[in-house]
Chains A and B, each alone.
Chain A
Amino acid sequence: MPARRTLLALAAALAALLVFAGPATADLFTPESGGSPNADKIDTLYKITLYISIPILLLVEGTLIYSLVKYKARRGGQAEQIRGNTSLELGWTIGAAVILVILTGVTFAFLNGITKPEKSGPEIAGGVQVAAIGQPDPPGGKGMRITVNGQQYLWRYDYPGKESLFSYHEMVVPTDTTVTLDITSSDVVHSWWIPKLGGKADAVPGHTAETWFKISKPGLYGGQCSELCGAGHADMRAVVRAVPPDEFERWAKDQRAEIKAAQDGLAAQRRAREAKTGGGG
């Protein structure tokens, strides 16, 4: 009996799904979250849309399966010659529209919390390390503004300040600080994405995209380029390392010193070479 088989197969599929669902972590069904408030809000928004969707999905699949089982051709059976039902059809059209209006309302209710950077933590605002690296304030309070530059197949981060401070691959940031990113690219289109720290933002040559995060728990947050950028696309990964503010200060100082030493070393090399070859070149 094909209809019964259909039903059995679907029941088996559903059972399999539940088996998976039981021990599974939340991320089987929802986006990554837990690093930054905007990621958490997107996660909540996703859950709301999911909860609205599930009854619709079950209604459609349920009615479909029910019809297939119930109205399978039987000897002597008569199909009802129904051509339509205006009020029913109007009903489901309006019903679908109403659900979407609700979804629109929910989205806009969440939008500000996702796009507007939060204020930095109170212990940071006006704190020492903020003044030390002298970055402009992001909207909403003191924080840090980092320029992210995508390059085949590497991310470069430029920190604000008079003295040159930059790094590749690993972005070190202080916790409890709102970090605003200005994202661009110097070759092809890339996309910046650290799932636990919020949504992605494309790095497009000639444009600057903005996103932000604020990390409360120190630790490593991984991610990778998510716009096809060439043969090494899958290897273009990125790590954000969140550390307490004082540790960040130490790192910044060391990094600056390292960069300065490297640049001075280069200058010395050049001078030595010029002295040997008689300058110019």
Chain B
Amino acid sequence: MEASSARLAGGPEISMHGFTEQPKGWLSWLTTTDHKRIGVMYLYATFLWFILGGVMALIMRLQLAQPDNTLLSGETYNSLASMHGVTMIFLWIVPVLAGFGNYFVPLMIGARDMAFPRLNALSFWLLVGGGIAFFCSLFFEPPQAGWTSYAPLSDDAYSPSGGIDAWIFLIHLTGLSSLVGAINFIATIHNMRAPGMSWGRMPLFVWSILVYSYLLVAALPAIAAAATMLLTDRHFGTGFFNVADGGDPLLWQHLFWFFGHPEVYIMILPAFGIISEILPVFSRKPVFGYKAIAASTVTIAFLALLVWAHHMFTTPTATVVLAFFMLSSFAISVPTGVKIFNWIATLWRGQIMMKTALYFAVALPALFVIGGISGVMLAVFPVDWQLHDTYYVVAHLHYVLFGGSVFGIFAGLYYWFPKMSGRLLSETLGKLSFWLMFVGFNLTFLIQHSAGLSGMPRRVYDYPADAGLTAYNLISTIGSFLLGIGVMITVVNVLKSVKGGRRAGNDPWKGNTLEWFTQSPPPANNFDTIPRVRSVEPMKDIRREVQKAGKASESVAQPVTSGSS
């Protein structure tokens, strides 16, 4: 239906009046190429994996609650630890960010879909395939070599079971999924932005997804190569990582971390992007230092490719190399610090709306800064010689990836859920969930710094009663269960609100970006008129113009579903 746009007198064009209905039925979901439906499927699938990975973590915490505990054997513990790490990284954080990207990048840039919709569907189904292949290892023998699968432990001589092969399958399938998705994001963002949306007017979340995509393209080939080499070492007699055959275990570590460290920024940058959208909206202020935040995203991504060997400070390595990687790791904290300062300055002298989305968004800098500072301390390589592979690192990485990424993801969920479902999440449940998660998280992980400092290595299923670690671990276990309950309350909140929540309207938060210009949930074609973008906050401009034209600002994004055709 080609509808000519109705115009308000002197105002902007109204977004929706002829819209395409979504087809119904489960088959339409399986065959969909609509970026929003793919995004929703990403979110459901990844949250499911998040819960599974969380349950594994809780079982591990139970084992560690007491010294000399016999709940789990060393094998089982190693399986859980490996699967927990792999699930959270490859099946939760990386793809859930792709899920948000899928749903919101086209909406935020004023496009009707991704550049390659079918490729987009392929990307999702490859992810599902990777997850299933990996979880099938539960039925024979799960991998036990950690999420890093260090050779030679992961070689056939020491890990003869198929668990490592399941891991290799997962790496290839999810890697391909991410690569295909990344190329799709890059093509979409470069080519399909609304008229007037120059690079300097692109939403910061879109900036972060663009940089996330480039980083994926840069980093994934290294692990794809490494996993393939491991596969041939295991099954076809090559010896890339085997000393006896002239190979070198350190080659694995270099290849793995050349991917593995950019991966950390792949997991955090879009979360940074999410809260760079949320903080200005909820403090009713423009984001402070837009250019600095966008530029620091790019700088972090560049530096992220130069810091990988700080994961290898304890390997036999020349001092000059250690010094280089210490300095490059230091350097990366500058643009990260810039972001944190900019976010705080965004709140400064604002009118802060205390909604759950804001709580989660503010928790990100509050917690990430702890992980950032412990990261700088770990970058001091002589200090790392004491702290490497201890619970101090476990604490550090959870402050970065849970305190940073996951709190950012939850902020995004509370912020965008009304757009995706047309319903508001319960604020009461949301805040309860936030406080349980916030307190539980800090209880779990703050004390782990001390466990590490007192000599507790990571990835141990057991510790002696006289090691002075009992109290630390008990506190940590109690915290982890609070954290788990907090997460489940959000899950309940989502399940309750998706059908029964209060109607959200099209723009419940008075957002700045174009996704709020269309219906909630958006129709299949997103917009039938793409507005011209004149600033970094196009939705604010639209509201202002409508107000000037004498209409209530709420009316701006309401669709006109009848009449004009």
Contacts and interface: CB of A to CB of B under 8 A. Distances in A.
B453 A27 contact: yes
B135 to A, nearest CB: 21
Interface string A95-124: 011001001100110110011000000000
Contact of B362 (A46, A68, A115): A68
Interface in A58-90: 60-61, 63-64, 67-68, 71-74, 77-85, 88-89
Interface string A125-149: 0000000000000000000000000
Contacts of B460: 224, 233-234
Contact of A89 (B338, B350, B382, B383): B338
A212 B291 CA distance: 49
Contacts of A230: 74, 78, 144, 153, 158
A104 B153 contact: no
A235 B75 CA distance: 12
B144 A187 contact: no
Interface stretch (B3-11, B122-130, B300-308, B327-335): B327-335
Given A32-B454, A57-B373, A233-B78, A110 B382 contact: yes
Contacts of B316: 201-202, 204, 207-210
Interface in B186-225: none
B375 to A, nearest CB: 11
A83 B290 contact: yes
A32 B344 contact: no
Interface in B376-401: 376-377, 380-390
B340 A60 contact: yes
Contacts of B384: 199
B150 interface: yes
A200 to B, nearest CB: 5
Contacts of B462: 234-235
Interface in B458-474: 458-463, 468
Contacts of A100: 330-331, 333-334, 376
A265 interface: no
A19 interface: no
B450 A93 contact: no
B351 A107 contact: no
A46 B458 CA distance: 20
B152 A29 contact: no
B315 interface: yes
B362 A64 contact: yes
Nearest to A229: B153
A219 to B, nearest CB: 15
A27 B386 CA distance: 13
Interface residues of B, number: 90
Interface in B161-176: none
Given A29-B450, A89-B289, A96-B333, A233 B283 contact: no
For chain B, what secondary structure do more than half of its interface residues adopt (helix, strand, loop), or is it mixed? helix
B459 A2 contact: no
Among B290, B314, B463, the one with the most A-chain Cβ atoms within 10 Å of its Cβ is B314
A147 to B, nearest CB: 14
A43 B285 CA distance: 45
Among A77, A79, A209, A229, the one with the most B-chain Cβ atoms within 10 Å of its Cβ is A79
B319 interface: yes
A239 interface: no
Interface in B318-363: 319, 323, 326-327, 330-331, 333-334, 337-338, 340-342, 344-345, 347-354, 359, 362
Interface stretch (B264-272, B364-372, B520-528, B553-561): B364-372
Given A42-B382, A228-B459, A67 B344 contact: yes
B342 A89 contact: yes
A82 B338 contact: no
B455 interface: yes
B501 interface: no
Contacts of B390: 226
B243 interface: yes
Contacts of A68: 347, 352, 362
Given A61-B369, A96-B333, A201-B385, 13 more contacts: A9-B435, A32-B454, A82-B288, A104-B326, A110-B382, A114-B385, A199-B388, A200-B314, A205-B152, A228-B459, A231-B73, A232-B74, A235-B462
8 A-B pairs with the lowest CB-CB distances in the bound complex, closest first: A199-B385, A206-B243, A234-B460, A226-B457, A231-B74, A79-B284, A209-B316, A67-B347
Interface of A: 2-3, 9, 13, 17, 27-32, 39, 41-43, 45-46, 49-50, 53, 56-57, 60-61, 63-64, 67-68, 71-74, 77-85, 88-89, 92-93, 96-97, 100, 103-104, 107-108, 110-111, 114-115, 152, 187-189, 191, 193, 195, 198-202, 204-210, 223-235
26 contacts: A3-B354, A27-B454, A28-B453, A31-B386, A32-B386, A32-B455, A46-B380, A49-B376, A56-B373, A60-B369, A79-B350, A82-B285, A85-B345, A92-B337, A96-B334, A100-B330, A100-B331, A107-B381, A114-B382, A201-B385, A205-B152, A206-B243, A226-B390, A226-B458, A230-B153, A232-B74
